[in-house]
A and B are shown apart, each in its own frame.
Chain A
Amino acid sequence: MHCQDYARSHALAGAGLPMIEPGMPDPAGTGLTRRSVMLRSLGLGMAVYGASALGGVDQVEAAINDALGEHKVLVSVFVDGGWDALSVLAPFGNDHRHEARLAELRPGLAASVARDGANVFAADPSLSWHPAAAGLRDLWNDPVLGVAVAPAIGYSSPNYSHFTSRHFWEVGALEVSGTTGWMGRYLDRVGRADVPIQGVTMGGSLSPSLATSNVPVAAVYDIDAYRYDYRGASGRVAAAATAELRALAAKASGDTQRDQARLVTGASFRLVDDMSAAATTAPTSVTSYPADSSHFIDSLKDTARLLGTRVSGAALPIRCVALRAHGGYDTHSAQEPAFSTNLRITTQGIKAFWADLTARGQQDRVAMLVWSEFGRRPAENGSAGCDHGAAGSAFVIGPSVRQGLIGEFPGLVTHGAAGAGLMRDGNLRATSDFRGLYAALLEQWLGTDADGIVPGAGNRPGAGAFIRPRLF
């Protein structure tokens, strides 16, 4: 089969539904919506009656949404370098013990967070939003969106290597040898063998969180620039060469990396169809994003366009999106003003993205996770920065998200004393585990059992299993 044939209709066919040809109009004059056509196609013409037999209207609705490619989507925003959680939500507020400790630990850096009453964090008034995190604060105050905040998230026996700690978060386990990502394993469970866009990284290199073992995933830097143009060749010969490449891509050679090259070739040509649909049919963003030059901002806009793309009424079958926040957060020296700039662009971008999604009517099927590999050392170093630390912060954002805290802020009391928030090495103690957060996202948002995706999540509830925050 030539991959030109690949289209949204495949999602429908794959779900056991009749093929809906691209470009097929809605049945004229029947008064039927596309959804009711789908219901009929499903053999559920008497949807109301049939629904109860199938386990409820919600499930039928979900099945239809899936068939139309309108999966629930998880957007992951990775904050690269280990962001300073104690600046994002700084321990300034109504607890003077925190403030006094912070002044001891950070005689220089603490001053960079304005003590602005308007920035007090409502869920824990001993904390305040960094002025540059106003985008997140506004989302928190948004009456429609929910934001769940983990002020000190991590894992036991924290690792202070960027790469090891990030790897743990990416593979969803404390395993240095893991090769598939936690979202990748979700895609391996529910995804399809011919739909690379189901897991898409908005950038030039694939997010390891999306690494799969069975199904293809995609990376795209700029949806408008994703093209395969020939130089000095067109017409039949170019079409024939492309067709041959696609055919070659589908053959296994038995050599691992050669086959990897073939698989990626095949996935790339499939992706061209999706990108050209998005580039030609999805309008550019009408809401206002930060004007800064930033690939993160560009990739947020592209993500919103991809989610808003419809081909013959069907959405692109996206399930997971991975983005990298603006800037680097490995602030060993001269943390400010770079940290503020990067945080502002990142959080204002996220805020604009949600406005964009809402303008496109896509917000209800999206949840966003914002995370970093660790937080930074509570004590600043001698270079107006801070070294690698333990617990960091994470945020889950979306209209379906229950607003509130995931774990509490542990405070800054020295190790050994009562109510110690710091560990022996002076780093912040985690009060929630990222694997519990993943299990909650999988089960409460994506609707699949975390067992088999997050190692150790099986024996629930309690009894050594990770505590799953109630997020939705």
Chain B
Amino acid sequence: MTPAKTRSRRKKKLPVCTKKDLRTKKSKRRKCRVVKPKPKPTVPAVPPKPSPTGPVAAPPVTTPTPDAFPTAPAAEPTDGLRIYRGPFGVEQAQRMLFRAGFGPRPGQAEALAAMGLRSAVDALLSPGPVRLDGPPPTGPFLVGGALAPGDRYGHLHLDLLDRQVRSTDQLGERMVLVLHDWFAVSESATDRRLMPVHLELLRRAWRGSFRDLLLAVTQDPAMLQFLDSTSNRQGAPNENYARELMELYGLGADRGAYTEDDVREMARALTGFRNDYSDQLGPHNFRYDPSRHDPGVKTIFAGTPHERTGRLSWQDAVHAVVDHPLHASFVVLKTWSYFIPTQPTPETQRQLEALYRSGGERLEPLLEAILLHPDLHAGPAMVKPPVVFAAGMLRALGQGITTDAWVGLLASAGQHLGFPPNVAGWNDRAWLNTSTHSARWAIVAEALRSRLATAAAYRGQTEAPSDAVEAALSFWGRPAVSVDHAAALRRVSQETWSPRAVGDTYGSLENFLAHRQNALRQLVGAAPDFQVS
């Protein structure tokens, strides 16, 4: 929703809070109102339908044509940002749920399509009270019946995956994933006990201003340890966090935004954090200790119009980054890249930057504009990140986390949550290669494992080739498949249908039918077209 539109719907009693207001504590702030999107309709909760366990149980599913759901009249983009006006049918809703969340539950794409684009975006942005729907994790890997993300290897990953599968705040969990990539704190260099608090911070703070998020992350224990901030002290600067604060979190490399001198000056401004350590507690009691802070004069961005000089504090360092003229474009392009594989036009980029600054440096208005943008809905497909691929299958099947195999499988597929490959996070443009592809194959097989079609279920029945294809598609919640893919499914179903082959290889018709159904299901899940949304 555009800020202008928000204003028109609201009482006009108070002035809108400025950036400066928002930086002031609430209690000390002048009377103003914080612009937040109006509460919107929530995504209709679709009870997870039991997916057909037997192939004949698949109900006939009619795929609604896009025309059946005309889009609601969209808000006029008063700030000039373009809004998608094409058909918003099930296929478009499926894509949006994979881009802004973790894919549809059975029936969810249909329900979202019926709402129209505008309401669908509103529902994603304002999910209402957050619940975890569906079966909670079960299995022998649990500790006292629950996951132990701050304690056990792999449990942080499973905890995130569980929320991705079950949370009713799909966009929120997607943003946790985005920010886990953005800040990329890894258990390989941070005490595991600090990680759940870090992720909860991301989950809680992303809807606020990015400035506040950056301030919070800068003093978050996991980050303080991860990038050596507690080793950065007066007289013995450590540049690690200072560099990444600019390069990876707020400004970007190779854009002329800062110099090596800025890294060194920034590091001095950021001095002063410390922590205690004990064998029992590990690193703890993280705090700011003024006696370790370099109180001298520092100059950041020297010689530029946005130069800051003085006895700068760590907060000054963060503000300097957010106030930098290249900060908005960095945030806009980085945020955009998580949702849309093509670059925005310069005009769109400029508009988004303006939206970011005018909206109190919040990500939410950017997301709203991105989710409404034609480049998302009418543009090219995007490879699903591995955890989106896996969580999407579990959502489609109405399954919960029943095995810790998801840790190793997703690590092989290239996305071990809690362990980003390096300080820049995952390479989001290179998910697919021959190695990760074989892992995706195994992920499909794992998702199928507990729901295999069996000869017993086919006893006394038969199944026409076209019904077998329908059953396999229904099994996966009827994903959109290309013409080529559909033809491939039909051929497998038809061409293997030979009484002689059935007798020779499979022994019985029901055994053949079960094998065929399982092969078709694998062929749906592992097909190249299913890797993208």
Known: A204-B412, A267-B434, A268-B434. A261 touches B531 (CB 8 A): yes
* Contact B383–A261 (Cβ < 8 Å): yes
Residues B381 and A258 in contact, CB atoms below 8 Å apart: yes
A231 and B522 contacting across the interface, CB-CB below 8 Å: yes
Which A-chain residue is minimally distant from B242 (CB atoms)? A387
User: Cβ of A457 < 8 Å from any Cβ of B?
Assistant: no
Question: Which positions 363-411 of chain B face chain A at CB distance < 8 Å?
Answer: 380-383, 411
CB within 8 A of B488: which of A227, A238, A248, A261? A248
A381 pairs with B238, CB closer than 8 A? yes
Can you list 12 A-B contacts (CB < 8 A)?
A161-B243, A203-B435, A206-B435, A219-B434, A219-B435, A229-B445, A241-B522, A244-B492, A255-B532, A257-B341, A267-B437, A268-B441
Q: Check: A114 CB closer than 8 A to any chain B CB.
A: no
Instruction: Please tell me if B518 contacts chain A, counting CB pairs below 8 Å.
Output: yes
Cross-chain contact A240 with B491 (CB below 8 angstroms): yes
* Residues of B within 8 A of A (CB-CB), count: 74
In angstroms, Cα B5 to Cα A326, docked, is 55
Q: How far is the CB of A261 from chain B (nearest CB, A)?
A: 4
Alpha-carbon distance A257/B432, docked complex (angstroms)? 10
Q: Which of A243-297 contact B (CB under 8 A)?
A: 244-245, 247-249, 251, 253, 255-258, 260-262, 264-265, 267-268, 271
Q: Which residues of B contact A221 (CB under 8 A)?
A: 412, 435
Contact check, A257 vs B380: say whether CB atoms are below 8 A apart: yes
Q: Which single residue of chain A is at the shortest CB-CB distance from B502?
A: A236
Q: Is A333 close to B, CB under 8 A?
A: yes
Interface assignment of B526: CB less than 8 Å from any CB of chain A: yes
A234 within 8 A of B: yes
Answer yes or no: A417 CB below 8 A from chain B CBs.
no
* A187-246 interface with B by 8 A CB criterion: 196, 201, 203-206, 208, 217-221, 226-238, 240-241, 244-245
Cβ–Cβ contact A387 & B519, under 8 A: no
- Asked if B16 lies at the interface with its beta carbon under 8 angstroms from chain A, I say no
- Given A161-B243, A231-B452, A235-B515, A247–B488 Cβ distance below 8 Å? yes
B524 CB to nearest A CB, Å: 10
Main secondary structure of the interface of B (DSSP, over half): helix
Is A383 located at the chain interface by the 8 A CB criterion? yes
Q: Does B523 contact A (CB under 8 A)?
A: yes
Nearest-neighbour CB distance to chain B for A46, whole angstroms, equals 43
Q: Is the CB of A245 within 8 A of B523?
A: yes
Expressed in whole angstroms, the minimum distance between the Cβ of A109 and any Cβ of chain B is 13
A288 to chain B, nearest CB (A): 27
CA A381 – CA B227 in complex, angstroms? 14
A258 and B495 CA atoms in complex are apart in Å by 26
Interface residue? B414 (CB, 8 A): yes
- Indicate the member of B427, B514, B520, B527 with the most A CB atoms within 10 Å: B527
Q: Can you list, as one digit per residue, whether each of B242-254 has a CB less than 8 Å from chain A (1) or not (0)?
A: 0100010000011
Q: Looking at the assembled complex, report how far the CB atom of B463 sits from the nearest CB atom of chain A, in whole angstroms.
A: 13
Q: Which chain B residues lie closer than 8 Å to A265 at the CB level?
A: 437, 527-528
Known pairs A161-B254, A244-B523, A382-B231 / 5 extra A-B pairs, C-beta < 8 Å: A163-B247, A218-B433, A262-B528, A382-B235, A388-B243
Which of A161, A247, A256, A271 makes the CB contact (< 8 A) with B434?
A271
A235 adjacent to B528 (CB under 8 Å): no
Binds A, one of B319-327, B343-351, B418-426: B418-426
CA distance A265 to B448 in the complex (A): 20
Q: Please state if B496 and A236 are interface contacts (CB–CB under 8 Å).
A: yes
Contact A160–B260 (Cβ < 8 Å): yes
B8 interface residue per 8 A CB criterion: no
Instruction: Provide the residues of chain B in CB contact with A247, threshold 8 Å.
Output: 488
